Every structure is written in C-alpha cells, then in structure tokens.
Amino acid sequence: MDKSATWTGLSGLLAAALLAVGCTESVGPARRGPGTPQFDVAANGIALDQVNGTLPEQGTALLKGFNPTNPHLGDAIIVTFFWVGSTNTNIITSVTDHLADGTAVGNTYTPVEFVSAGGISMATYVATNVQNFPEGTFPSGEKILVVQADLASSIQDGGIMMSAFTGVSTVAAQAMGGHSKAFGSGSSFPTVADPGALAIDANALAYGVTMSNAVVGVDPPVGFTTITVLSDAAVVTEANYAVQANAGSVDPQWSWHFNSPSTWLATALVLNPPSPAPGNLTVTTSTTGSSLDPDGYTVTVDGALSRAIAINGSVTFTGLSAGSHSVALSGVAANCVVSGGNSKTAGGTVTASFTVICSTTSKLTGGGKLGDGRNFASFGSEAKQTGGEVEWVQHCLDGVQAGSSTCPIGNFTFHGTMTVGSYGAVTGSPSCRTWSGTGTVNDKDIPSKSGTYSFTVNAACDNGEPGRGTDFIDITIGGYHNFGYLTGGNIQRQKSN
Amino acid sequence: MTVTTIHRRVARWLSGLGALAVVSGLTLAPVRAEAQSGSVSGRGAAAAVTTATSAQQFATATLPSAGGMADSELASVVVPSTLSANGLASITTGQLDDSLVSATTTAEAADVNVLNGLLTVQAVLAVATSYANGVAATSESNGSTLLGLVVNGVSYGDVPPARNTRVNLPGVGYVVLNEQILTGDGVHNTDLTVNMIHVYLTDPVLGTPAGDIVVGAARSTASL
C-alpha cells in the first residue's frame, strides 16, 4: 500500500472533520437514546459511547464539550490533553467538568500518564462512574458536559481528545488497570511508537493514544479501532481502543510515516469491567436404572455448603460469589454411578446437573491366564459401576516379535484404572461386560514404549465354571490387542445384588 | 554345567547362610471373607525365602475380605547366593455371590535363578482357582506354567512337571515342582495352594529342615 497516498487523502478528510470537531459536533459512534438504563451495561460489556475533541487551542485552558450528546451516567471518560511545548512536568494544574452553562459537575479526573519529548507533551486522565449531568442530546448546547484542563502557563498550540465508554466498572479502584507511556524518535517509515505491553483481563478495555511533532500519517495498532484522529499545522494525534475477549497482554503499536527526524509520544491504559454480581446456583439430579439409591444424596458446594437432595430433585444455593464453584455429589449407593463423575465446576452457569445410573448387576471380577506356550498373559480385574482396575502382565519369552499379535512390544506389565461410568453391558452378550480407562505400561523390552495408555476391556465374559476354556476376555491397551478364552483362572459376574 | 560347579555354588550358599534352624515351609495364611453364607480368600507371593534368621516374601497380594482384587509388582529381587528374579507379580481376585463364590490367584516371576544356578527357569506362573456353589466345591491349577526349567543340570524344557514332582538336590535338600496342596470337603469348601518351585533346604550335617525357597506361590479358597 502507498501510505503517502493514503495519508494525503486522509489529511483532506481530517481537515473537514476537524472543522466540525473544533466547533460543536461529535465524532462519536452510534448513540443511545435518552432514558436508557444506566447500570445494565455490564451485561453488554464495554462499548464506546461518545467521542469528542478539538485542536488547536491556545491560552491557559484546554476544554471541549460532548456536543451535541452527553455521555451516559456511569460512563468512564478518558481525556487526553496535547500541547506543543516540552516540559519535565505536567503543566496541567487541574481537570474539572461543568455544563456549558457554567454549572459545576464535579467528577474526579485522575491523572494516569504524562509524557513529554521533542517539544510536545501529552497528559491522560480518567474519570469513572461520571454523574451529575443530564443525559441526552442538546442541540442548543447549554447542558453539554464540558471537560476542562487548567494550565500553569499559557500555550500556543494544544488540544483535547475525550472518549466515554459504557460498561466500565463504576468502582474507580476496580476500574483502573495498568498503564504505560513511552516516547521515541525516527526519520522514516515505519517508526514504531510502543508504550509497552500491559496485562489485561478478559472483557477489559485497552486504550491507546499517540502524538507526533510531524504532520504525517500513522497506521493504527493491529486489532484496535480508531476513536479519532486530530491534527493541526504542528502535530498529529490518534486514539484507539480494543475490548479484549481473553485475558493476556495488550501492546498497542503505531507505525508513524516519518520522513524526517521526528518525535512520537504514546500512552496506553486498561479499564476493567465490573465484577459479576453474586448469584444463585441450582443443582439437579436425575437417577435411572434399577435398585435406586433409597436415601437420596448430598450435594456440597465449594467443599463447605452441603444440602440433601432427592434422587430426582433440585436444590438452589443463593448468594454465591461470582466465579467458578465446585459442586460435589456424595452419598451415592455402591451400585450406582454418577455419569461423568461426582464433581463439577460451575462457572458461567447457574445450574449443575448430575445424572446417576444404578444397576443390580454391579460387579465383575476375574483373573487367570490367557494364551499358552511361550507367549501368554496373566491378569486380574475388578469392575463395577463405581470404578475398577485391571492388572495385565504380558509374557513374551522370546522377546519382541514383530508382526505378533501379542508380542509386538515384548514383555510388559500394565496397571489400568477404570473411568467411572464406562462400565456397561455388551450388546447381544448378556454374560459380558465392558469398561475402559487409562493406565501405565512398563515395557521391559522397549522402554520407550512405557508410559500412559488408554485401555478398553472390550468384553469380559462369565460363561460358567470352571473358567478355563469357557470364560472370555478381550482387551485393548494402546495398540496392543489380545483376546481369547481363558487358559486358566475364572471370571465371575455378580448376578445378585 | 558340571556337578562340581554346582556343588561349589551350593557350598558358597551354605557358608553364606550360616547356622540354620528348623523353619516351617511357606505358609499363605488364608484371609476369609464372609458374606451371606460364603467366603473366599486368596493370597499370592511371587517368591519367598525363609531361613533361620529371616523370612522374606516378594510381591505379595491378599484378597480383600469382601472380595475384589489386589495385586503387587516388583521389578526384580536379589537375595545373595539364594535367589534372583525379575518381573515378580501377584494378583488375586474373588467374589461372593448368592449362589457362587470364587477366587483366583496368580503369582509369577521370570529369569529365576535359585542357589547360584542350581535351579533356573525362564518363567514361572502359579494359578490357583477355587469355586463353591453350595453343592460342590472345587479347585484347580489350570494355567500354571514353568518354562525353560533346568534343575541341577537337567532341562525340563517348557513342559511343566507333573504335580508334586520331587527332585533331590544333593547337599542342599530337595525341590518339589508344581507342588499342589488341596484341602476341603469338596462340597462346601475347597482350598488349593500351588507352589511352582518349592526348595526344601536341609542341614547337610543333621539332615534337618533348614528353610525353604518358593517361587510362584498362589492360594485360593472358596466356601459356600
């Protein structure tokens, strides 16, 4: 892209815009109508409400009104003042607001960053939860909210850029996140203006503003929306913002199109949304199967708040703090299993549901030998609705045998733990059960094969006694698969409860 | 291996063992689990060495009283001049149901060397299974295995010896291979102990028991 050509076109647009901004027009985004509820914004997140600004101004004050539409009560207002003149200290003595008719408003504007270099200066202030002014549009201007900085000394060229955001926390200490500033110089494109990275939470606002003493173009930070650009014969300023979807860090960087030695200033800050309000958590249970738990369950939140709950019922915990909470179901009968586990974390939701499955055929045990000759396995297993384990020892007396179904990785032992809820019948084989889980292989011949693997007992079948030649087992451990009728031992499936 | 070499190895073991006293053979005390009118027990030991001064068991597992499963593993064991083995493991499982109780125990080891090579075996697996259904109580050792067995220079290959095969070990005592001890009335209760290798040590001078070495010991009991 030809940046110079782009800037030439932009300059023309800016010139037209600045004429309006310098008077009474807002350059803000879509506006909300009067009477909109003022504290429901948290639910909708942070959004740009009103924007205004002007450049150039002279004298001992920099001020501007939100013509023609005021921000909303509860908004946060970010104001950045610019002026030509490099000083070691901020010459702003106070920042106040009032209505255009002179009525004092009285919001507090907190200084956030001041940066000065190369004969230019920039200071940024924030007021949160602004109040005490009328909402709405005022074409005649007398009720417009005006923000003003008084200066310790007169300036010949300065300006003000202000933006109001809805959805920022109304608690100042909570609203203010990190902030940073920097300055630098360059003489060619791209000269990167980088105030530094800031930590930021999810749904928080990142605001950045830059200024240069060269009247050239500037590319905005990637991922940021431009709030406004102001310029005059001596300086260019630009402000941008982004609402972050995820927690992490933010680092706005502008690329200045300098073509001669020039100076840039940059500031970034973070404003946070309000913390969610306390809420309620409803826990529900649903129990199916046979031999259902006779005395119900107990549900416990955060390991401390416990209440009884019916096997098909619900209880509501009220007044819980915002955020995630652990929810545990206990008191479940031995012949029942909680699908997906007995504990959950409820975050971003107001319900936690547990499904409990009960069964009268609740256990299968067995052990013995599979295979014969020099390749064989010994095993033991126990499985029921509430859990189980498998111990499997594969013997390969001639070591690793490529192509062998049972000795592709040689001698190994495996101990697996059943995933609760995986135990069930095998379709079409009433004497068989299946379950799965994860465990650890210790391979004696190929140590690199040792490690954690998933396993599935595809079928363990109790076909009668004695078990040899009658009972059957089929197991998969990672890529290992072995199955057949027992050559020793027995498998027993519980038939009574 | 020559007989002379074996005798030297035995002599080294005996000198290391020191004075020996009469020691009973390996005892796998049953752990009974009562439920309804039945009970099961099971216990396995991959190996055990008993002398006048010590009794050691390796990779032992005992069935919980309510049935279920227990297991134990040991990568290797070395009792100097007496026993070395790899891959020791025992698993015991059992269950009590209204009309059937059963228990199965396995005990195994690999690369076994007893008494400085007097007895070697590539793989040992003892399997003891017991059932009782209120009408009949039976036990079996199906699946029990001895692979690559060599005793006193005599190879037995991969064919397990007949149960309770006794082989004398001059200057040491004797070994019972595939030892099986069955008790019970065969109706309501049954108890089987399988010791795949059971070396009975005797004092070379007095001829009295001096301890024992067992590899692959599995026991199962069922009563209903």
A346: pLDDT confidence band, cut at 50, 70 and 90? low
Q: Do B105 and A367 touch (CB under 8 A)?
A: yes
Kindly identify which residue of chain B lies nearest to residue A469, measuring between CA atoms. Answer: B142
Q: Is the pLDDT of residue B8 over 50?
A: no
| Helix (H), strand (E) at residue B198 | strand B189-202
- A251 touches B: beta carbon within 8 Å: no
| Nearest-CA distance A298 → chain B (Å) | 26
State pLDDT tens for residues A402-440: 888 899 999 999 999 999 878 888 888 888 999 999 999
- Provide the pLDDT for residue A360: 61
A277: pLDDT confidence band, cut at 50, 70 and 90? low
Contact A83, A155 (CB under 8 A): yes
Contacts of B67 in chain A (CB under 8 A): 365
Q: Is the pLDDT of residue B30 over 50?
A: no
B67: pLDDT confidence band, cut at 50, 70 and 90? very high
User: Which candidate from B69, B131, B142 shows the least CB-CB separation from A365?
Assistant: B69
- Provide the pLDDT for residue A325: 80
State pLDDT tens for residues B178-195: 999 999 999 999 999 999
Q: Using CA atoms, how far apart are residues A201 and A247, in angstroms rounded to an integer?
A: 4
pLDDT (average), residues A290-296 = 80
Q: Using CA atoms, how far apart are residues A243 and A245, in angstroms rounded to an integer?
A: 6
Q: Using CA atoms, how far apart are residues A449 and A409, in angstroms rounded to an integer?
A: 7
Distances (CA, A) of A203 to A124, A252, A349, A443: 22, 16, 17, 49
Q: Range with the lowest mean pLDDT among A42-51, A333-342, A424-433, B169-178?
A: A333-342
CA dihedral A10, A159, A72, A248 (to 10 degrees): 70
Q: Do A369 and B127 touch (CB under 8 A)?
A: yes
Extents of the domains making up chain B: 3-223
- Provide the pLDDT for residue A423: 86
Q: Do B69 and A389 touch (CB under 8 A)?
A: yes
Q: Is the pLDDT of residue A47 over 60?
A: yes
- Provide the pLDDT for residue A275: 77
Q: Do B122 and A413 touch (CB under 8 A)?
A: no
Q: Is the pLDDT of residue A33 over 50?
A: no
User: Percentage of chain A surpassing pLDDT 70?
Assistant: 87
Q: Using CA atoms, how far apart are residues B93 and A311, in angstroms rounded to an integer?
A: 33
Q: Do A391 and B89 touch (CB under 8 A)?
A: yes
User: Which candidate from A368, A442, A495 shows the least CB-CB separation from B106?
Assistant: A368
Q: Is the pLDDT of residue A18 over 90?
A: no
User: Percentage of chain B surpassing pLDDT 70?
Assistant: 84
Q: Is the pLDDT of residue A187 over 70?
A: yes
pLDDT (average), residues A197-218 = 94
In A159-188, which positions are buried (b, 16+ CB within 10 angstroms) versus exposed (e)?
bbbbbbbbbbbbeeeebbbbbbbbbbbbee
Distances (CA, A) of B175 to A195, B118, B166, B196, B208: 85, 11, 6, 10, 15
Q: Is the pLDDT of residue A292 over 60?
A: yes
* Higher pLDDT among residues A423 and A279, named by residue: A423
| Nearest-CA distance A380 → chain B (Å) | 6
Residue B106: closest CA among B85, B75, B127: B127
- Provide the pLDDT for residue A414: 96
- B123 touches A: beta carbon within 8 Å: yes
- Provide the pLDDT for residue B145: 96
Q: Do A374 and B158 touch (CB under 8 A)?
A: yes
- Provide the pLDDT for residue A492: 95
Radius of gyration of chain B (CA): 18
- Rounded to 5 degrees, φ, ψ at A447 are -55, -30
Q: Is the pLDDT of residue B118 over 70?
A: yes
- Provide the pLDDT for residue A366: 96
pLDDT (average), residues A189-206 = 94
3-state secondary structure of B42: strand
Residue A162: closest CA among A59, A266, A21: A21
- Provide the pLDDT for residue B10: 43
Q: Do A391 and B143 touch (CB under 8 A)?
A: no
Residues 6+ apart with CB under 8 A from B8: none
- Provide the pLDDT for residue B174: 97
- Provide the pLDDT for residue A496: 61
- Provide the pLDDT for residue A119: 93
Class of domain A279-358: mainly beta
Extents of the domains making up chain A: 3-271, 279-358, 363-493
Contacts of B71 in chain A (CB under 8 A): 380, 391, 415
- Exposed (0-12), middle (13-18) or buried (19+): which is A313, by Cβ within 10 Å? middle
* Higher pLDDT among residues A341 and B70, named by residue: B70
Separation of CA A61 from chain center: 42
CA dihedral A300, A301, A302, A304 (to 10 degrees): -50
State pLDDT tens for residues A377-405: 999 999 987 789 999 999 999 999 988 88
A302: pLDDT confidence band, cut at 50, 70 and 90? confident
Query: Which residues of B, range 77-96, sit inside 8 Å of A by Cβ?
Result: 86-87, 89, 91-95
Query: Which residues of A, range 364-403, sit inside 8 Å of B by Cβ?
Result: 365-369, 373-374, 376, 378-382, 389, 391, 393, 395, 397
pLDDT (average), residues B141-150 = 97
- Rounded to 5 degrees, φ, ψ at A217 are -80, 165
- Provide the pLDDT for residue A424: 84
3-state secondary structure chain A: CCHHHHHHHHHHHHHHHHHHHCCCCCCCCCCCCCCCCCCCHHHHCCEEEEEEEEEEEEEEEEEEECCCECCCCCCEEEEEEEEECCCCCCCEEEEEEEECCCCECCCCCEEEEEEEECCEEEEEEEECCCCCCCCCECCCCCCCEEEEEEEEEEEEEEEEEEEEEECCCCCHHHHEEEEEEEEEEECCCCEEECCCCEEECCCCEEEEEEEECCCCCEECCCCCEEEEEEECCCCEEEEEEEECCCCEEECCCEEECCCCCEEEEEEEEEECCCCCCCEEEEEEEEEEECCCCCCCEEEEECCCEEEEECCCCEEEEEEECCCCEEEEEECCCCCEEEECCCEEEECCCCEEEEEEEECCCCEEEEEEEEEECCEEEEEEEEEECCEEEEEEEEEECCCCCCCCCCCCCCCEEEEEEECCCCCEEECCEEEEEEEEEEEEEEECCCHHHCEEEEEEEEEEECCCCCCCCCCEEEEEECCEEEEEEEEEEEEEECCCC
User: Which candidate from A442, A466, A492 shows the least CB-CB separation from B95?
Assistant: A492
State pLDDT tens for residues A439-459: 999 999 999 999 999 999 999
Q: Is the pLDDT of residue A6 over 70?
A: no
